[in-house]
Amino acid sequence: MSTPDQKRQAAAIFTAASEGKVIEHCDAFRKWQAVDVFQHSASYVSNYSHLFRIAPDPIAPGHNPAGLTVSQVGEGCRLLSFEFLSSHVVKPEERKHFEFYATHSATGWLNLCHQSHYTYGHPNAEVSFDKSMTWRTLLSVEALAALDKPAWRLPDPPAGKRWHREGEWKEKYLPVGYRPFLLGEKTQDGDERYDGEDEWSVWHLGSSTIDSEFQALFRTTRPLPVFNPRDLPGFRPLLPSEQPHRLDFTEADLPEGYRPLLLMEHRQKGDQYWDSISSAWLECMTCFNPARDNHNKLRTRRPLPTTPRTRPWSKPEDVPGPVCWLRYDGRPEIHQIIGIQPSGVKARYDWNWGDLKQMEYSLDRKTWFPCQTEEK
């Protein structure tokens, strides 16, 4: 039969268990294990009260110079690690997540957000943790790791280019596969315009240049524009018979409004040439011989020469070579010309000059042109 002291001890154990405290039982191997005390009868606990105890409050893990127990840290809270305290700098908007242990506080904890002395009187200052203190947080391990994630930033634009309204983009505005517009880029149907309140609409109004800070944000899934000196803004595309006098012009060489001189085009006063000694573009003061491929780079603001009149192929000398491929307009099948006749060409089939009016030709199987030649 249990004694009064055993009964009091058993009552204390049941009371603690009902309050949510952990109760431990000493087993046959003299090891204390957590148990559900309500699985035992009151008489058993009373008679063997020496085998039950309220689990001691363990020291909380983490950086804990104050030696606090788990219950002192508080439900749902955990201490910060020494590694995190050493490496992380607290931004102003993060202060609300961190508290330090202070014996003079009524709750035992003070929020960093309200401690102006700790931030040296600067409300927007970034501060480091004082590692002589004990710090706690409600944030999860994953949330803490996210704080150390580098801030999102726009990728760098191509050399010599700028993004349109580059300071106003947010990570959520650019899902995978999207990019912002370049300053001065033209819209195409299917691009998207920002309408505010995280809403985007599909653009269906054709080509419009986006070059003003007052225009809406635009995004697209199209690849970045590829520099093509044969098709520059403000100038007509070059004909197959035309080419820049040099093939090494870069986008930096040709800002908007400039084009390279064509091969054998006469330079004129006011055109510019690249001077390698001064590493600068200098103005041509007089007229010279036609531009050739071994001359310094030459550029101009003048319009291209008037487009010559063209006509369909009608005789053997109209066919370029030495190697030429044919295809019907836009179709994938291509055919190499293996012979030329007075009436047309010979490839996989024999085509007369009339058939070729519906076809395109290429000298490299990449760039295709109508089967036409300049009218002499």
Report strand pairing: 78-79 vs 89-90.
unpaired
Q: Are strands 199-202 and 89-90 parallel, antiparallel or unpaired?
A: unpaired
Kind of pairing between the strands at 272-275 and 298-300: antiparallel
Q: What are the tens digits of pLDDT across the range 236-289? A: 888 877 899 999 998 889 988 999 999 989 899 999 999 999 999 999 987 777
Concatenated DSSP letters of 82-116? HHHHHH-EE-GGGGGGEEEE-TTSSSSEEEGGG-T
pLDDT confidence of residue 258: 95
Q: What is the pTM of this model?
A: 0.42
Mean pLDDT to the nearest integer, 30-56: 87
At 280, is the secondary structure helix, strand, or coil? strand
Residue spans of the domains in the chain: they are 4-54, 70-147, 166-220, 241-307, 310-374
Q: What is the pLDDT of residue 147?
A: 83
Long-range contacts of 125-130 (CB under 8 A, 24+ apart): 125/92, 126/89, 126/90, 126/91, 126/92, 127/89, 127/90, 128/89, 128/90, 129/80, 129/85, 129/86, 129/88, 129/90, 129/98, 130/100
What pLDDT shows up at residue 144? 86
Residue-level pLDDT at 222: 94
Residue 348: is its pLDDT beyond 80?
yes
For residue range 86-108, what is the model confidence (pLDDT) as tens digits? 988 888 888 889 999 987 777 78
Please give the pLDDT value at position 81.
Answer: 93
Whether 358 contacts 329, CB under 8 Å: yes
Task: Inform me whether the pLDDT recorded for 146 exceeds 90.
Answer: no
Which pLDDT score, from 0 to 100, does residue 117 have? 53
Output the six-digit token pair for 104: 């003079």
- Residue 328: what pLDDT? 86
AA letter at 27? D
**Rounded CA gap, 92 and 112, in Å?**
10
pLDDT at site 330: 67
Amino acid 201: pLDDT: 95
Strand partners, 373: 311
- Output the CA angle 205-207-212, nearest 5 degrees: 100
At 369, the pLDDT band (50, 70, 90 cuts) reads confident
Higher pLDDT, 174 or 231: 174
